[in-house]
Structure 1
Amino acid sequence: DELGFTSGTITSLAVYNNFATDRPDGTTKIYLGSTGEQELSTGFIPATELTLVYDGNVDYPSGENTITIHLQTPYEHVPGNLVMMWYRPLDIDYTSNEKFKCQRVNGLRAHYMFGWGSELDPMNPENGMALDTLPMITFSYTEESVENDLGAMTISGTELPTVGVPSNYTIKVRNHGSEAQDDYTVKIMGPGEAELASVAGPPIGSMETVEIVIPWAPNTPGNYDIYGKIELDGDEFDANNRTANLNLWVNPVGVHAVTIGAGNEYAVLPVHTNRMNSLFQTLYYPDEIVDISGDIAGLRFYTDFGASADNVPLSIWLGSTTNANLSSGWIPSTQLTQVFDGIVNFESGYGTANITFDRPYTYTGEDNLVMMIYKASGEISYGMNYFKCQTLNENRCRYIYSDNVVYDPAAPPYVSPSAQFPMTTFMIEAAEMSSQIFGTVTGKNNLPLADVTISVDDGLYTTTTNVRGDYSLNVPVGTYTVTASADEYHSQTVVDVAVYFNQPAMVNFALTHTPTDDPHIPVVATALNGNYPNPFNPETTITYSIREPGRVRLDIYNIKGQLVRTLVDEEHAAGHYKKVYNARDNRGRPTASGVYLIRMSAPGYQKTSKMILMQ
């Protein structure tokens, strides 16, 4: 009777707040469900019995506001009482001056719980407090059922890509409608609603969820947002056609992002914005920097600030040391190199602080990296301001702060060492420490083979052999997988090829000949012989042999295991066969660059092999 309808599809809701301060990007989960219960006096209805309709960030502005939330998943309410669960995960900053408009009702129709030190579990909530107070709320609904609606739920992937380097971004798509869908497009969008990349979406049934991987290489460095988007003709509910933004810090060509730490703790370091002065120092170890050497051009910290801290003066030093820890004391700034001396602004809410150095620091990767950060300011921020941190390795850090003492980084005072340090991402322009993979490829009668495709790490580096069967590839120092493939020959792969600086790695191949489709050549065994060329663009030829007559199926799948194309599904006589794949799906649409799987099924035989499309 309160809702004014007994059944319908709820598409959005609104609550009414009166906050003392802005709370942007508040992580929020909302669940809806139906029940015959009249009260919640005995406890929560767990989220396992409800439907997650919203999982994202909500802006809660200061003052009196109407906060409208468009549901990511429209909820089809059936006759009964409507249940709503509202979950705010662990948030460091909290004040009792943030309120919502409410009213008291008859009966204990609400249940409420909060915690200070650990996250609550909506799937298995503990007993809290039964209340007779409910928030004022507005539901928007339609009485018609939804037939065609796809929702772009989330986008995920590296937040620190490099210009020109492809990275995979995963967009989660859910079919909220009653009709299956197989003709839609999934896109990565950028600033100004620019389309950055797109793929044809795979078939998805009603109420199913799929994760769609889209490779994308940025071409512009800088800090900007991307988001996922769905385009479906006849979509009845367009409010959920795009994901929330994913903020990127795109590095210039040759610059790599190396992140150290998991950020599973919060602390007021490396900068204490609630004190006038703070001094922090820590070590980072070569294995944490994944043995990369080069010029460190900047860094990133990860923040959760209750209030913004503007115009914070910071000085940063870097250096190298053979000391295993800081148990013997600080390493003074006079033994380090100053890389930054300027102003940093820290925004409120969850975010990042990106600092580009005034001068890069050349790190050789041989010794431990030292970082010192000094703040000396006549102003302080009064918010509860924290950095994501973690505790690893005893005595690796030192930290001190005060409102009265001005510290000298060249002669820091004594303070006990600790193990807690901030989650840190360094921007490193890696040194060109390259080497070489080389070798010879032979075929029938041990004769050299020309025009053999040599592929390193699924097409990351490729070349072909010359008339003498020789090849060579310049590659950075590392460990690789090397594959040789040629027409009418079985492909061959060698794994764990270690390449060291000034120590080239030799990898020779002796390829086995694949019988042709000459009917006079007997078939020894049923086999999927592979494809050539591999990598390919735009076509590749798949060869296979059938010994026992029967039905044969040849399917192409993407790396997520989703069917892309059925090339063959018919009866075969014994013999040798070839089939051309033209990089299109079952609907004739072009497929994106990436790794694909060939799966062959025949009587008493099944095999899968890998191929790479490079456009």
Structure 2
Amino acid sequence: MKGQFQYILVVILVLTFMVLPISLIANNNKSNPSYRTQISVTIGAGNLVGRVPVDMSYRTSLFETIYLATEMNAAGTITDIMFYNNFESNLTDKPTHIWLGETLAENLTGGWIPASQLTQVFADNLDYPSGINTITVHLTNPYNYGGGNLVMMVYRPWEEDYYWMNQDLFSCQINGDNRSLVTYNNNTQISPDNPPTTGVIGLFPKTTFLINVDGMGSLNGNVSSSGIPLEGARVQIEDSPLYRITGANGNYSFPYIQPGTYTITASKLGYNAQSHIVTIIAGQSTTQNFALTGLPEVSVEGRVVGSDAPNVGIANATVSFTGYADYTAVTDAQGYFIFYSVYANQTYDYTITAPGYQILTGQAVVGATNLDMGEIVLSEMAYSPINVTATEINNGTAVQITWQEPLVPEEGWIHYDSGQNNSSFGTAGSANFEVAARFPADSLAAYAGGYLQAVKIWPAMGGSFVVHIWLGGNALGPGPMVLSQPIIPVLNTWNTVMLNTPILITGTEELWIGYLCDTTGFNPAYAGFDEGPAVNGFGNMILWQDQWTTLLAVNSYCDFNWNIQGYVGLTPPALLTSAPEININAFSDRSMIGFKVWRLLQGQANNEDFWVSLNEEPTTDLSIIDTAWDNLPDGTYLWAVKSVYTGGVMSDPAFSNAITLITPVGTIAGFVRNISNAPIEGATVTCENVSVTTNSAGAYTMLVEAGVHSVTASHPNYQSQTQEGVLVQVGLTTTLNFILQATAIQDDNIPVARTELLGNTPNPFNPETIIYYNIKDSTPLKINIYDMRGQLVKTLINEVKTPGHYKIVWDGKDNHNKPVSSGVFFYQMICNNYSCTKKMLMLK
């Protein structure tokens, strides 16, 4: 465990420009070439100390930061970089590598910019003497700096020696919370081309750059409108990150710009932007002024009404426009609002909120004339039912679904910690671990129907972090993980993470909120905690060595709660301007007209197209019986219930427990033989909708639903035989043998004794089967194929047949010559006074 330092400070950013004689510039045992004009740019106040850009307390370290173009305010050739140390150790010849580059990014929240995308400017040894010193690094490869946002990466290559007991620090400061990244290691080397993921920080070293500005030009000017100076206008050099903001007098200045031709654009909110092409000449100052014209403005108005009472306006609804400019208004007692001065010819995103109604978002296209949005309907807040339970009834032939009426859920942050950070816990990069806060079902009852919208966590020190949410579980561990959301946090502070998918709070199952501290690559990842004492078994859960336990069980001195909090509500915390107030009476007159219920297979909760409705019209009852349960295919099912309100508004679904349906089956097995006791191969044995074919030994086996059945054995060359009252018991095998008599089909020279449909083989079949039949007397004959719905599929024969033994092949295609799907089919033979129908099975 490693304590974290806290700093109380006022950040001061010092930008210093000096023209220095070369003889006054210190260097680290290197010599500078002679430059005619060189400026010194110092960034940072140095009012703090820290272990950046080089951390000597580890065997290797890597640091990266960004210096903004507005901080550098220069361009030219960077020849030297200076850091300011205060070391206890006296360290000589320490390998140090530095890379520089330019970027459009203004921070490192997107992760490391690897060394492979930068230019190496130094790779040599440096002296870091004890005491207070200026560490001057003369670049072996001077960097041609164009004036953009400057990236600097500093690498301490692996050394066996490290100085963890000494305070070897640099003058630093904090500006913001996301400009820097740092990682360090005692166990494995760090690759500057592929650094490990870690969180961002605001700490960076006080740094001086020596820049040769020979051959540079400059640009200055004024921005005004109707002759009045414009303060706060942005003057941008296009296709570059370089810009300036005008002061109160409307003036701007770029003191150092590479010679060339540029497009310069001046812009300000509420004004038309203006661009000029400017040529910068070495050693000269160029002036370019801008005169901006104002944008036209129009009014936007409308009325906010509710779905429950569309003729009545909603008072005190908040209407917000965001886009080119931002606007906010509150409706009056009749629901009307108006923005008097909205910039024209723009598209705005709007958000409308009112207590008791769902948030409405959309886009408003504002043209050149006033816009009346008319009546805007907010859907009333639809609260989900709670405690949905499914129970088998009537000896398992039906399922009863019950639920309770919805409650207005409470909103707010749930947590066990004090809200203050004390220190942090980690493994120094030796092992991954997860931390979590466990909330039992009864503690969430008041929040049922709301959503876990966001979490707050306190990651400390570097590493890779992933927010995890689990539903269900007990003291031994959480239930299934329902959300995994990687983040790049700001280290050593609260991080509010808006969940990509809000999690419904049912009030009937546990909720675990936590995050993974991933130390892959031996990167240290630490988790913050409060000053305690721990709410043991709830506020201090940890996945340690693949087992969930408590932090106290891991270390008896760690009597703390993790800095983990969750926000539960109907809206994300960012949309709330103040602490939520729930007025139960505000919803008491709402018209909830009933409930709708659906059945679905487990895994289809997010695919309503596959849900099966149990009631077309809403029911006012708090239960419903699924009578189709006994006839469903095997599977795991659950039920969804929604509250239905006036205007067709429905709540999010509340889901029941899952029930698995397994049809009880048994086995029928035996042999099919002829009267000589010889096996009959290819005989079809059929029980209800199950058919199998005998093998060369005449054997068969089949799984069928438990119960009493009739079973038929058939073969085209034999007379079929049916045995009735065959009892099949669950999990047992019923032995059933058949002895079949041969038919005359075996010899075409034997006269036909009777007209008869003999059967088909093979059965089941794919892709074709042969149907056998006999005709005793000449007769018109039809043989048709039908599907399970009784619809005609194929007419095989429709003609007069003379006496004889016949067979015909069906190729599995319909009357349109299209292949049929797998399934049960019926073939029917009709002639004179004879009609017979048999069943066959196509299996693909």
TM-score clears 0.5: no
TM-score (norm 1): 0.36
TM-score (norm 2): 0.27
The one of the two structures with greater contact order (alpha-carbon pairs below 8 A, sep at least 6) is 1
